[in-house]
Structure 1
């Protein structure tokens, strides 16, 4: 197979993406560490749970939504559980399953952290873009995410670490 090297324009775009996404993630992490004492990943886990029915998700589903391995999620949830922000529950219909539940304290922490988080996202990203660029950003990453999710759906669980058979749904 012949390698399709990036064109100079593609190389500039790729490097700009890498620099911008790294700096953006760093700014968001710094703000969340300063204001809420947690990294962006933990905030995202709490946010995913806050949007779930009854503020609960099966661990495998939470790993998939967070796009992290189950072991990394287990570590994060253990830490959040120690802080009283998440409670783990057994799955009534599948003894091997586990559910992460956002506690009232976790919801309170999330609600206190959200204004600063949104302000940082706005200041570091959206305030620097025109409305047209915001639409383009959405179009570009919707296309990329959609294509990658299609590829992921055709992959085996071994190829995509956060995709695991979750057994029966918890009820």
Structure 2
């Protein structure tokens, strides 16, 4: 009798473990700051990251091989709504002011970089549209329900067996 009860309780306990690699813990904390839309591109010579911050397009330019910031370069940006030369704010960081913010869409950008020893033309795509929700819908498969039903049946069978044995003793 005790073995049957122990088996039933063990079956119920095993059904409480996580399944399918899902994490049922606390949800991850929300980002404390918003992430600006970004785009990146690389060539044999340069690596570029463009970020939209308020009404400015900030462009970070590094050497691809050494990750060294590219200082004193001529950086020109061309897009449907943005055209002009970016000004250097710090070594490797260039900013171009936008008269009006970029609308929510995908913006193809062409960035021209000229230094004393090399020049390159990079194309990238800046997506300023809102990202879709990344939260996946939680669904229960039939196998999960089967485990719970089996555990409940074993628990009820164990309780019924226990009651029957108590009645027989009296």
TM-score range, shorter chain: under 0.3
Higher Cα Rg, which structure: 2
Q: Pick 1 or 2: higher relative contact order, CA cutoff 8 A, min separation 6.
A: 1
- Richer in strand (by share): 2
TM-score, length basis structure 1 = 0.24
State the TM-score, normalizing by the size of structure 2.
0.24
Query: Going by fraction, where is helix more abundant, 1 or 2?
Result: 1
